[in-house]
Structure 1
């Protein structure tokens, strides 16, 4: 078996793992859900739950990856007690990665399309109805959506075909540094707008009365869900990068760095969006249309808006592309670990398969738009299966695998997590009790609530 590649630097590992976690959930969903629940109060709950729910499972997924030196295709086989069936989960994890890419590449394509349209000046001089019509035209044009989906997928496949160090690590590191620089430039620009300070206050000063209006219970649940899903835990997407990691540093410190970077990007996205919305009198709780309909109007009002808008959508494209590259890398490594395929064979086979599997999502908005289950179209169904089923249940599998005597076990997990220099995972009895009995219940509540919110509306 060929020797497994390793990251060339710690920074590369942190940026790629964060790139996997930093996706449209941070820069698209986080701002509008924060707007919906009155700003700063929601941010406080989100950060609290991030530490309580997300961080332990990130560490566990990294530990399983590094301990096994395998992707999720074979990591459980390596570590499970003989005769146990934990490895069966690999089929669900692999399915989850494919399913995620079946709709995510379409949304990534939209971001790329908007970057190009903004650069071309397609939004210049349009009123709000005109801007809304651009999005409507894009999402009903099958061939245009296929073009952008194929383009962003091919870019990701080319990056992955260069291997870990020369492809994925090199490109993602450059892209993530550019993403962070673009964000800082955009934040500075929107802070110069009139009334930007009001947006900043709304975003950062907790106002529990606004949260109460929207419903505190639902706000807390949404904060839990957002904290949980933003890190992309449960499908082996982080375990794969743990498997490329050396033993020099302990895993809690690395997980904190990744989580902090992920949170920084989400918070910075809000620092761009809220001051901009308040400066032009636009509702920041606008919903998913915030990015595609509301913000182009904001950039249209700004001097030099065409350039600022293009920069914003370049940043959004990088956020989407970093996740697509990370998940493609996971999918490509499955076949290499499971069947011993060469990199080239796995890239070509999975590339063709992923492009074909991404078509139903686009057709669901066009030729098959009449198809729905419980009022949801194909994209929403794919998203629901991943977000409300495979992510929470996958996280539960990783959690139980690391704390259960019938799995890898607490002692093995702690030994792996705390190997190397840096912050250590706490081994107090209270922590173990929380992870063994309380956190699994919280994950199950999130899982059940996902179904309740779908069918009891």
Structure 2
């Protein structure tokens, strides 16, 4: 282990919680509930569960194993894979998903800053003193949220500066259970509101005819793929900090299960409340920043519930940012030879400086579209191909069986090489055609 590298995760629980923290993000909270209802309710869920199981089993396991095998991030890992074939240029390829993570982090930090501002607005009451549209407009203009955006970056940097055990693992051990508890409290409270049953019907009543609509399958696949944070970078770096004694496929499936539970919990907390007050369950930023504040304003005890809700969203956002910043900081530490703390500060400063110029909501939207539609899906596809075709099934299979008490399922490698990589190609193509599916 290099001198500047942080220690490994202490055990599988810490690793899984950190991985779940990376996976659980805004997509679980504002996109998942809407898509479930729009594309078939329980019918959509059945397809979604199938894709989550598949992508968790071979996709997440592959990225974890790739990182543990190489002991480094995407640049070093991709270079290792190509060297195994006598080729050069792997480091350049590895920079593509790394830039995807940095690009998402830049925009994501701005959005989490908005959530922090909303949480403070719920605490102080200023959120309810004006209309949610006006409040949202106040913070999404040019340089409209520098303070809150800066707080988010600073907190993330401080966590990472403490390394894996005292920073990433320790924080996720606290934040992720707190996330589930807070959302559970909100969901239970919302369940007793008059009219909440309509939200449950929206989520759970199967619209079987939607199974004949190709877009139902496309959106379920995209939601599952990106919900697990299979981007060819972040999960590789967490895998590089994992002990050889741990069972990777088991940890991957536990991560996928908890991520799915988080998405369902968000749906049960948000949609019943929206329907209880006759609001439109729109997707994207309007759901969290415009629709829900109107709901909280009308709800008995709504101010308290708003604080809990936005606090839990902050937790989801920070844990995702920790992973994005970490993969970038590791690259700076390893390849530019900077001390870890200096690397973390450099990444944070770069993310904040770049993000400051896209705080204007239309600019941010264009930035995130470019990154999530083109860069991230291509990075994920590239990683899948390099793991299962360049590095090869035999070598990654040897890594996957370490820490297991039984052999890898015979269907694992054929499923990964043909079905998973084929679907990764499809995700990339459909993401461009549809203007984003995750």
Fold conserved between structures, TM > 0.5: yes
Counterpart contact for 1:32–1:290, Cα < 8 Å: no
Structure 1 equivalent of residue 122 of structure 2: 118
Structure 2 equivalent of residue 190 of structure 1: 190
Cα distance per residue 1:4-56 (max 9 Å; x no partner): 51112321111111101111111111112223224222222211122234541
Counterpart contact for 1:23–1:319, Cα < 8 Å: yes
- 1:24-423 aligned within 5 A: 24-80=26-82, 81-84=84-87, 85-124=89-128, 130-140=131-141, 142-209=142-209, 211=210, 216-285=213-282, 287-362=284-359, 364-365=360-361, 377-404=362-389, 407-421=390-404
Deviation (angstroms), 1:423: 7.2
Unaligned runs of 5+ in 2: none
Counterpart contact for 1:199–1:277, Cα < 8 Å: yes
TM-aligned CA distance change 1:74 to 1:187, over 3 Å: same
Return the alpha-carbon distance in structure 2 between the equivalents of residues 103 and 171 of structure 1. Answer: 22
Return the alpha-carbon distance in structure 1 between the equivalents of residues 344 and 283 of structure 2. Answer: 39
TM-aligned CA distance change 1:6 to 1:433, over 3 Å: closer
Q: TM-score, normalised by structure 2?
A: 0.93
Cα distance per residue 1:327-377 (max 9 Å; x no partner): 111111111122332112212222222211212321x44xxxxxxxxxxx5
TM-aligned CA distance change 1:123 to 1:346, over 3 Å: closer
Return the alpha-carbon distance in structure 1 between the equivalents of residues 358 and 311 of structure 2. Answer: 23
Counterpart contact for 1:57–1:398, Cα < 8 Å: no
Structure 1 equivalent of residue 424 of structure 2: 443
Q: TM-score, normalised by structure 1?
A: 0.89
Deviation (angstroms), 1:82: 5.0
Cα distance per residue 1:290-342 (max 9 Å; x no partner): 11111111111111110100100000111111111111111111111223321
TM-aligned CA distance change 1:302 to 1:423, over 3 Å: farther
Structure 2 equivalent of residue 369 of structure 1: none
Deviation (angstroms), 1:125: 6.1
Return the alpha-carbon distance in structure 1 between the equivalents of residues 261 and 215 of structure 2. Answer: 24
Instruction: Give the aligned length.
Output: 432
Return the alpha-carbon distance in structure 1 between the equivalents of residues 335 and 341 of structure 2. Answer: 15
Counterpart contact for 1:33–1:287, Cα < 8 Å: no
Return the alpha-carbon distance in structure 1 between the equivalents of residues 414 and 214 of structure 2. Answer: 25
Return the alpha-carbon distance in structure 1 between the equivalents of residues 27 and 286 of structure 2. Answer: 14
Return the alpha-carbon distance in structure 2 between the equivalents of residues 188 and 438 of structure 1. Answer: 39
TM-aligned CA distance change 1:391 to 1:424, over 3 Å: farther
